[in-house]
Amino acid sequence: MADVVAGLAVFGAVIAVGWLLVRTRAVPADADGVLTRVCFFAATPALLVTTLSRADLTAVLSRSTAVAVAAELAAIVSAWCLHRLVLRRSTAEATIGALASGYVNAANLGIPVAVLVLGDAATIAPILLLQLLVLTPVTFTVLDAVTRRGNPSRLATLTVPLRNPLLWGVVAGTAANLGGVDLKEWGGGYPAQGLEMLGRVAVPLMMLALGMSLAGAPRPLRNPAPEEAAPPPPGSPARSVQSVQSARQGQEPQVAEAGSEAHAADTTGGRLPREEGAPALGARSWSHHGAGRRSGLWLAVGWKLAVMPGLAAAVGLAAGLSGAQLLAPVVTATLPTAQNVFMYASRYGAAKDLARDAVLLTTAGFVPVVLLAAAILR
């Protein structure tokens, strides 16, 4: 337990350095975006390749992994039912609320936490695959259908995971492992040395980027500004005026297309949402539900930090897990909501405020839950 506390303290110190760099203006306010891209396109894939190439795949594809996957799916499905049937949200809003309740930050926080608490980053790989290959395409398909604001190409939606370098890091590392390829003997060992160097900087860069993003993040549950009111309906004169004004001001009303470089850089889950000058267009903002918005937010935060770890523990105990085997899925379940959820909400104009605040609150609140799980199960 002491080593976990000490490790989290080190993480906190590195995060604080990133926060101070932005607050003291030693680096630009958007510097975290650069670090996030470095991690996403280079450092994290390299870490996944080197880790999985020498991992024990029988341990990665174990009952603990199955429990972690089952807990995430159960949390998302049950949360969707509550948002849709109890809180009476639209399908789009319920989808974002469900993702905020169970879609974990598996890359930029999942990998460092797995290394610290579990001693192996490979345990997070199956969750990454679940999110990249299943949850992301399903989310885009549902939101495209109910909002009619997404990518018109179904092929583009289904191939989004193939443009994600994290997926290829997992595939390359697993293929090297199954093929018995020793990376240190391939190419004179120089490619392996390069991958090792890149992989070693992944975790500290992730922590610095998180601290930088916290320095510019808005306060949760803030009152929306008047200009953030729901946009006029498509085709109305007010909507036309709004579009013209945005064009004159050089604003881009659409967020990055799925699969684009800008979209890909945000799918790591490491960069927390910032204030934006123009509201998302389309469905009503969650902020206009007043007390309902708060109930939806607290449902998502509570589901993410309490119910999902509880589900993982219950399923794990039912599967006969205990000790370190049970700790792995529980720790995975405690990870905060991924930044992807805010990106999806912005893209489709649904529950944007809920997604933003859920990312911030679960990121701030997951550490005590991890410590509690480690204290009980280690």
- The CATH number of whichever domain residue 138 belongs to comes to 1.20.1530
Q: Is 27 helix (H, G, I), strand (E, B) or coil?
A: coil
Domain assignment present for residue 45? The answer is: yes
Domain assignment present for residue 109? The answer is: yes
| Binned average pLDDT, 10 residues per bin, the chain of 378 residues | 72 88 91 85 88 77 89 95 93 94 86 80 82 84 77 64 80 87 80 90 84 75 48 41 40 39 42 46 44 82 95 94 89 89 82 86 88 84
Residue 172, token pair as written in the block: 């390359």
pLDDT of residue 104: 92
pLDDT of residue 263: 44
Residue 29 belongs to what domain range?
2-218+258-273+280-373
Buried b vs exposed e over 51-66: b needs ≥16 C-beta within 10 Å? Answer: bbbebeeeebebbbbb
Domain assignment present for residue 81? The answer is: yes
How many domains in the chain? 1
Domain assignment present for residue 225? The answer is: no
pLDDT of residue 233: 43
Domain assignment present for residue 234? The answer is: no
Q: Is 250 helix (H, G, I), strand (E, B) or coil?
A: coil
SS3 content of the chain, % helix, strand, coil (to 5): 75, 0, 25
Domain assignment present for residue 378? The answer is: no
pLDDT of residue 53: 85
Residue 156, token pair as written in the block: 């583009």
pTM comes to: 0.71
Domain assignment present for residue 74? The answer is: yes
- Are 280 and 346 in contact by the 8 Å Cβ rule? The answer is yes
Residue 78, token pair as written in the block: 């049950």
Residue 63, token pair as written in the block: 């009952």
pLDDT of residue 145: 81
Domain assignment present for residue 66? The answer is: yes
pLDDT of residue 27: 92
